[in-house]
Amino acid sequence: MGKNKAVVVFSGGQDSTTCLFWALKKYDQVEVVTFDYNQRHKEEIEVAKEIAADLNVRHHVLDMSLLSQLAPNALTRDEIEVKDGENGDLPSTFVPGRNLLFLSFATILAKQIGAKHIITGVCETDFSGYPDCRDVFVKSLNVTLNLSMDDQFVIHTPLMWLDKAETWELADELGAFNYVREKTLTCYHGIRGEGCGECPSCKLRKNGLDSYLQKKENS
C-alpha cells in the first residue's frame, strides 16, 4: 500500500502546487498537508484548501502556531518588514527550523496513513539563501527520520535543481501551466496569481515566468 502512496507538503504556492501535479502523475494515492503557523496571510491556507478540493485530494491542516512563538519573522509578524538579506544575512522571511519541523510532521503523518513518499518543493537553485532548502539538509533529515521511526521513507524534491523558469517548464510539461499561473498564491502580500509584483517572492516568480515564456517563444 505505502509504496505508491505519497504526502505532499502543500502551501498552495507555485512550487508546492507544481509538486502536487508531479505527485499525482507518479503515485496512485496522494494526500496533502498544510501547516498553520500563524503566517501573515491566512489566505495561503484557504488557497491550499481550494486547490486540494479542486484536485480531489485529501487535505490535512496541522496547527504549528508554536513555530511563530519560537521564531518571529516577517512571515508571522506584520510589524517585521519583508526584505532580502544584506551583508550575508538571511532574508527577514527566513523561519528557523521550519522545514525541519514541516518535513518531520509530514513524515509522521505519512506513517499514520501508510505512505512511504514525502514530496516537498524546496529548491537549492532559487532558495534565497535558506539553509533548510539545501539538498544536504533534506538527505540528512531523511536518514534521521528513517532511523527515528525504523522505516523506509523517501523525501522527494523534484524542484531541487530547477530555477524558477525550469519550474514553470515542469508545470507546463505536467499540463498545469495555466492552473499554477492563475490559482496559486506565492505573494508575501497575499495576492493570488500574478501577485503584487513587488515583494521578493513575486519578483522571483515573474522573472522565472518571463524567462520561460521567452525561451518558449524562441524555440
pLDDT tens readout for residues 177-200: 999 999 999 998 889 999 999 988
More confidently predicted of 85 and 164 = 164
Q: How confident is the model at residue 1 (pLDDT cuts 50, 70, 90)?
A: very low
pLDDT average, residue stretch 28-48: 88
Alpha carbon distance 55, 103 (integer Å): 22
Alpha carbon distance 201, 126 (integer Å): 10
Closest CA to 48 of 9, 78, 104: 9
Taking each helix axis as running N to C, give the angle between helix 98-113 and helix 135-149, from 0 to 180 degrees, rounded to the nearest 10: 40
Asked if the model's pLDDT at residue 159 lies above 70, the reply is: yes
Considering the entire predicted model, what is its pTM? 0.88
pLDDT average, residue stretch 87-103: 69
Alpha carbon distance 5, 135 (integer Å): 23
pLDDT at position 126? 64
> Could you read off the pLDDT of 63-89 as tens digits, one per residue?
988 776 665 544 444 554 544 544 444
